[in-house]
Amino acid sequence: MEREKAALGLFLSLNPPTREMEREAASAGIYETGDQKVPRLQILTAAQILDGRRPQLPFGHSVVGQFECGILPELALTRLSGCG
């Protein structure tokens, strides 16, 4: 996140996160904008994405359309992004 100067990050994993992964994500802190607070680094599993769970985003931001077409077709992200 620091190298890319990203305010928020999402780690997508095939397996549930380990305790160390959860600690690392928590240590990234909280992103605050206005009266909204979201974790700066979030971890979701592929199963959670397929079940419809989405990352917490500040109001006015959307995940839809921000995935590259075909980058993870096995997770049906092309369907989410409106590609093909």
Indicate the domain borders of the chain.
9-81
Instruction: Tell me what pLDDT residue 43 has.
Output: 96
Residue pLDDT, tens place only, 12-66: 999 999 999 999 999 999 999 888 899 999 999 999 999 999 998 887 655 544 4
Q: Which CA distances in Å does 17 have to 21, 48, 68?
A: 6, 12, 24
Q: Lowest mean pLDDT: which of 2-6, 7-11, 28-32, 58-62?
A: 58-62
Is this structure's pTM higher than 0.95? Answer: no
Instruction: Tell me what pLDDT residue 20 has.
Output: 97
Residue 4 and residue 50: Cα distance in Å, rounded? 27
